[in-house]
């Protein structure tokens, strides 16, 4: 999982006090000690401008009467150079012309008379900084909105080009949208399939699942003669079963569910309910939404969200779970290691009666063997052996990968005694347990075939 960077602490505001009288600056520094902002001091207008050129300043409070550069002139320079800095004039003499100049040219926030009231001074500075923070936040949000709007316009205007640049499947989706536009007006099934392809844009091609899940449930419906309504509901459920995941972060979307922890695990367990909630308002989707709600229930009652058990789980939900788990095991979305199709079917069979309906599972495996060309379990010569059951002369029926995904041997490799010994040693070193698909000749002794 991606490492999250530590949150950036907000910068403390900085207040610059400008007065040519050291005693005034000392009094103000004592007054402002312990406030939630840093205090900077300057004895002249020129020194104040030097300080501001070196570091950001949020508020300047300047005495009105100072030699060389008076407060009104200084604040006018500050307004011109640093318009976002709040400006306050501190004056001990009522000089209308200086106040008018400060207002017109320096655009001061307000002025404070000497001698000042301590509580009023603290309140004025706090209110000025709060107002400035609110204004900056408003401007930040406005800028963010403008940027997001610009990005959305750019995305909309360049969608086809962007899609084509990312993956060939995205281009296929764009083409499908044109061809299916008229059909979408009349067919929720077609609409959900197209939407599922769009939703898959959140995932890299190697992690996308919906298309194969749809094909598997359709194959089952065709092989077992399910009626049109059941076929339609299962197809829509397969297309949108993971719509509740779209609010997840990108890293969580591709993290195997077995590795999720704490709040991420809770969010994962909530996605079937979230998916159902998004679809229940569409009347033609209500039956499909119910299948989605219960597709993570388990045959032994340990699933979620309602811990249904056995035949209390809707038939369509049991079938959908088989198809989803079969595909997601191969995509690395359940366990850290990606399985091939044969390994995924063996995993399903291993948990028959616990996670899966055992009778439905065998029917599902037959459908997979019929419709998928890369499954070797139907071949009577293909056996699944451990490393210690291997013998020289056997031929690998599938690629052999280590638990970390590294390719060890290619399909078609003829095993020798030294090679078998190396596999046993490597397995022990890795601490794993390999399942090796090999072709066993028909004349192999029955004791070995029974052992396999």
Residue 112's DSSP bridge partners are 90
| Number of Cβ atoms within 10 Å of the Cβ of 248 | 18
CATH homologous superfamily for 203-371? Hypothetical protein af1432 (1.10.3210.10)
- Give the pLDDT confidence score for residue 153 in this predicted structure: 79
pLDDT of residue 451: 39
E strand or H helix at 63, and its extent? strand 59-63
Closest C-alpha to 81, from 98, 44, 110, 56? 56
Tell me what pLDDT residue 301 has.
96
CA of residue 75 relative to chain centroid, distance: 48
pLDDT at res. 203: 84
Reduce the DSSP state of residue 419 to 3 states and report it: helix
Length of the chain: 452
Q: Are 173 and 163 a contacting pair, CB within 8 Å?
A: yes
CATH class of segment(s) 14-138? alpha beta
| Full pLDDT tens readout for the chain, 452 residues | 444 445 556 789 999 999 999 999 999 999 999 999 999 999 999 999 999 999 999 999 998 888 999 888 898 899 899 998 989 988 876 566 666 666 756 577 777 888 888 998 899 899 888 888 888 889 889 999 888 888 887 777 776 666 566 656 656 665 665 554 445 434 667 777 777 777 777 888 889 999 899 999 999 999 999 998 899 899 999 999 999 998 899 899 999 999 999 899 999 999 999 999 988 888 888 999 999 999 999 999 999 999 999 999 999 999 999 999 999 999 999 998 889 898 899 999 999 999 999 999 999 999 998 888 777 776 777 787 888 888 888 888 777 877 666 777 887 888 888 888 888 888 888 777 787 888 776 655 543 333 33
**The pLDDT value given to residue 186:** 43
What are the residue boundaries of the structural domains of the chain, listed by start?
14-138, 203-371, 382-451
Quick one: tokens of 224?
Answer: 């077992």
CATH 1.10.10.10 fits 382-451, yes or no: no
How far is the CA of 62 from the CAs of 29, 74, 87, 108, 359, in angstroms? 14, 8, 8, 10, 85
- pLDDT of res. 420: 85
Element (H, E) at 384: strand 382-385
How confident is the model at residue 99, as a pLDDT?
Answer: 66
> What span, in angstroms and rounded, lies between the C-alpha atoms of 20 and 284?
79
Cis geometry, peptide bond prior to residue 305 (ω within 30 degrees of 0): yes
Do the bridges between strand 86-91 and strand 59-63 make them parallel or antiparallel, or are there none, so unpaired?
parallel
Measured distance CA(135)–CA(186) in Å, rounded: 51
Residue 184: predicted pLDDT: 44
SS3 content of the chain, % helix, strand, coil (to 5): 55, 10, 35
Query: pTM score, two decimals?
Result: 0.52
């Amino acid at each position: 999982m991606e490492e999250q960077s530590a949150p950036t602490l907000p910068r403390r505001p900085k207040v610059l006090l400008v007065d040519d009288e050291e005693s005034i600056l000392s009094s103000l520094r004592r007054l402002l000690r312990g406030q939630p902002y840093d205090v900077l001091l300057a004895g002249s207008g020129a020194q104040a401008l030097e300080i501001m050129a070196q570091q950001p300043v949020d508020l300047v409070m300047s005495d009105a009467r100072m030699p060389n550069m008076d407060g009104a002139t200084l604040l006018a320079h500050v307004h011109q150079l640093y318009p976002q800095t709040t400006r306050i004039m501190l004056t001990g003499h009522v000089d209308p012309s200086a106040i008018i100049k400060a207002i017109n040219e320096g655009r001061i926030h307000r002025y404070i008379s000497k001698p000042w009231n301590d509580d009023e001074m603290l309140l004025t500075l706090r209110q000025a900084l709060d107002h400035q923070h609110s204004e900056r936040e408003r401007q930040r949000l406005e800028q963010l909105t403008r940027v997001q709007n610009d990005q959305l316009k750019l995305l909309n205007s360049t969608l086809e080009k962007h899609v084509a640049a990312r993956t060939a499947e995205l281009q296929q989706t764009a083409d499908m949208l044109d061809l299916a536009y008229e059909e979408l007006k009349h067919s929720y099934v077609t609409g959900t399939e197209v939407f599922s392809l769009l939703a898959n844009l959140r995932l890299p091609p190697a992690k996308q699942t919906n298309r194969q899940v749809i094909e598997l449930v359709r194959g089952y419906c065709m092989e077992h003669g399910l009626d049109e309504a059941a076929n339609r509901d299962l197809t829509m459920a397969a297309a949108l079963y993971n719509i509740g995941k779209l609010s997840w972060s990108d890293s969580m979307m591709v993290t195997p569910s077995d590795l999720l922890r704490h709040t991420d695990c809770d969010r994962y367990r909530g996605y079937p309910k979230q998916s159902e909630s998004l679809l229940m308002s569409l009347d033609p989707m209500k039956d499909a939404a119910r299948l989605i709600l219960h597709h993570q229930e388990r045959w032994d009652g340990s699933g979620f969200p309602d811990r249904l058990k056995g035949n209390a789980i809707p038939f369509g939900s049991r079938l959908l779970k088989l198809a989803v788990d079969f595909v997601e095991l191969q995509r690395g979305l359940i366990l850290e290691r990606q399985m091939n199709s044969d390994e995924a079917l063996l995993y399903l069979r291993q948990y028959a009666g616990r996670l899966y309906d055992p009778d439905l599972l065998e029917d599902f495996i037959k459908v997979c063997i019929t419709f998928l060309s890369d499954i070797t379990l139907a071949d009577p010569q293909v056996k699944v052996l451990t490393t210690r059951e291997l013998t020289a002369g056997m031929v690998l029926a599938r690629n052999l990968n280590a638990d970390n995904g590294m390719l060890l041997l290619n399909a078609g490799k003829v095993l020798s005694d030294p090679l078998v010994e190396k596999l046993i040693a490597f397995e022990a070193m890795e601490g794993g347990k390999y399942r090796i698909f090999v072709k066993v000749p028909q004349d192999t002794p029955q004791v070995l075939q029974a052992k396999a």
